[in-house]
Chain A
Amino acid sequence: MKAKLSPVILEIVAVALALVILIPFFMIFVNSFKGIRESALFGLSLPTTWELDNYREVLSQDNILRGFKNSFLMSALVVLCVNLFASMAAFVIQRRGGKFLQGIYMAFIMGLIVPVSIVPTIRLMDMLHMKGSYLSIIMYYTAVLLPFSVFLLVGFMKSVPRELDEAAVLEGCGYFRLYFRIILPLVSTVLVTVSIVVIVSVWNDFFGPFYLVTDSTKWTIVLQVFNFVTLYSTNWGVVFAFMLVVIAPVLLIYLFLQRYIIDGLTAGSVKG
């Protein structure tokens, strides 16, 4: 970069780069309104006639609606499990400390790095007689997302003063009430962050359900995309319409809760 670049030039460069990001989205948007022949050209021109048939076809499919329901259900239950388990653990890891819990904390941090052993996980679910069940996929996601959440929450717990605990316990408050009434409300912003990261991760994931869910009635929406493209790759208009419907909820959350998402997804990193 030169010594002095005028802000106008920088702005133009930045906008041009932003177009590189936006054009692919624009491409599927316009093509999702085109008929079968026109959409197969993957062009950037506006549709000759704006057709809603593609969307009608997508939304009339039972398995797609079921995919939405499954993704929604799984995200919600994983959010619940991860928030509850991670915050309880983070609370005692940070407050109690000691060799055992420090070891546990290190194990969680290792979990941030190492890849899951997915094929043996199938075997494990089989041995536990929960292969392919909702419970199995929820437990899988909870286990995978716990390291990040515990890491984030332990970091944040440090900023909640211990004096609060002491005061509460002196007043005769038990540990359950201390945790639910005093600690949880104080870390609620982090819980929002954790929840959003969990929702986005579960909603977008293909890897987990691809290996763990064999029953097509339990497929998530991303698995339905995979299946749908294989079946409908002759009609790209419908495929693009479907993909837009799938990314729309995440994009909406992103537009409205941008700060939380960006903070959340980069949280572990900035704190170091």
Chain B
Amino acid sequence: MERKKYPLFFSFPAIIVFLLFFITPTVIGIYYSFTDWNINADEIKFIGLDNYRELFNEPRLKKAFTNTLIFAAAVTVLQNVTGIALALILNEKLKLRNLLRMIFFMPYVIAPLVIGYIFRAIYHPEHGIVNRIFDSVGLDSMMQDWLNDPRFALFTIIVTDIWRVAGFSMVVYLAGLQFIPKDLTECASIDGASYWTRFKHVVFPLLAPAFTVNVLLAMIGSMKVFEIVMVLTEGGPGYTTEVFYTYIRNTFSSGEMGYATAINMLLFVLVTLVGVPVLMAMKKREVEM
């Protein structure tokens, strides 16, 4: 049937909503990032590059930038390591396999805000489970104020997010493992390859598609981290756990909308710079497949 006969207007509702409520804010955001838009002022004045100039002199932006990158890198690596490990374990014939799979994925369907509050209780310096466990096994030196000590706060948030997302990666890897023919690993095994060699030379290369996707999603998702950080530390102590979205939230709360928009634009550029090349690589793979 002729392609042109399909009615173009079927796509209009989606295009209009997407154009109006997704693309338009981004585009007008470029303009507003050049203004002094403030909740306490009636007028919005064009101030050129002032917001950006101020931002780049702001140590806080540097903190937000480096923390976001550290967080994203750490979460991406750890999420994939735990994800692969869990998938390999659950790919064996365990009795509780389905139940375990369900449990590991469970945190992913819970509101991150709620998870943040649960873990605030868990990391409580006196009563929290973490310190009580260390106390009960005699590791007093490990009892820390996990969220208020600048040495540990970011690390603690990273661990919490791994708790939340490891199951997601696990499921993607499990799906990838289904495509690996059993006789392939069996052959290698008969040839005397150890578990590690088999993993390195047979299993992992075949997991490459799942790996790419997991890395992309983890990187993009973790750069947009917000609720967990907001609830656990609010970017503190000091700015030691400040990330882009908590920074935006704080400037927004003080009414500096133009400034907040400028920070948002920087995040936009950052995510695009990281995300698009990876996406292109994925598209290329799609063609090959």
Could you tell me which A residues sit within 8 Å of B by CB distance? Answer: 1-5, 7, 10-11, 13-15, 17-18, 20-25, 27-28, 31, 40-44, 81, 84-86, 88-89, 91-93, 95-98, 100-101, 104, 107-111, 113-124, 139-140, 142-144, 146-147, 150, 162, 165-166, 169, 175, 179, 200, 203-207, 210-211, 222, 225-226, 229, 236, 239, 243, 246-247, 250-251, 254-255, 258, 261-262, 265-266, 269-270, 272
Contacts and interface: CB of A to CB of B under 8 A. Distances in A.
Contact of B264 (A44, A118, A206): A118
A31 B217 CA distance: 35
Contacts of B108: 265
Main secondary structure of the interface of A (DSSP, over half): helix
Given A239-B117, A246-B111, 17 more contacts: A10-B89, A14-B90, A21-B106, A23-B129, A24-B122, A42-B124, A91-B6, A101-B8, A109-B279, A116-B22, A122-B257, A139-B20, A140-B21, A175-B7, A207-B226, A210-B249, A236-B121
Given A101-B11, A114-B275, A246-B111, A119 B282 contact: no
Contacts of B249: 210
A156 B89 CA distance: 31
A270 B109 contact: no
Given A143-B18, A262-B171, A116 B25 contact: yes
A254 to B, nearest CB: 5
B73 interface: no
A247 B10 CA distance: 37
A269 B223 CA distance: 18
Contacts of B96: 11, 14-15
B277 to A, nearest CB: 11
A217 to B, nearest CB: 20
B22 A144 contact: yes
A117 B37 CA distance: 15
Contacts of A166: 1
A120 B29 contact: yes
Contact of A41 (B127, B199, B224, B271): B127
Contact of A108 (B18, B110, B265): B18
Interface stretch (B59-67, B137-145, B146-154, B206-214): B206-214
Contact of A27 (B92, B129, B248, B275): B129
Contacts of A40: 127
Nearest to B178: A270
B205 interface: no
Chain B contact residues (Cβ within 8 angstroms of A): what range? 35 or more
B90 A104 contact: no
Contacts of B111: 203-206, 222, 225, 246-247, 250
16 contacts: A10-B94, A20-B163, A24-B119, A27-B118, A28-B118, A41-B127, A96-B3, A118-B25, A120-B26, A120-B32, A140-B21, A243-B118, A251-B106, A270-B210, A272-B212, A272-B289
B162 to A, nearest CB: 10
Interface string B98-125: 0010111111111111110111011010
A200 B92 CA distance: 30
Given A11-B95, A42-B124, A120-B28, A95 B3 contact: yes
Contacts of B264: 115, 117-120
Interface of B: 1, 3-8, 10-11, 13-15, 17-18, 20-26, 28-29, 32, 37, 86, 88-90, 92-96, 100, 102-115, 117-119, 121-122, 124, 127-129, 132, 163, 167-168, 171-172, 175-176, 194-196, 199, 209-210, 212-214, 217, 220, 223-224, 226-227, 245, 248-249, 252, 257, 260-261, 264-265, 267-268, 271-272, 275-276, 279, 282, 285-286, 289
Contacts of A150: 14
Given A18-B103, A92-B6, A269-B213, A113 B110 contact: no
Contact of A204 (B110, B195, B268, B289): B110
Contacts of B117: 225, 229, 239, 243
Name the residue in A111, A114, A169 with the highest tally of chain B Cβ atoms < 10 Å from its Cβ: A114
Contacts of B248: 118-119
Contacts of B24: 124
B287 to A, nearest CB: 11
A226 to B, nearest CB: 6
A139 B213 contact: no
A219 B157 CA distance: 27
Contact of A266 (B107, B171, B252, B286): B171
Contacts of A43: 127, 132
Contacts of A122: 257
Name the residue in B5, B86, B109 with the highest tally of chain A Cβ atoms < 10 Å from its Cβ: B109
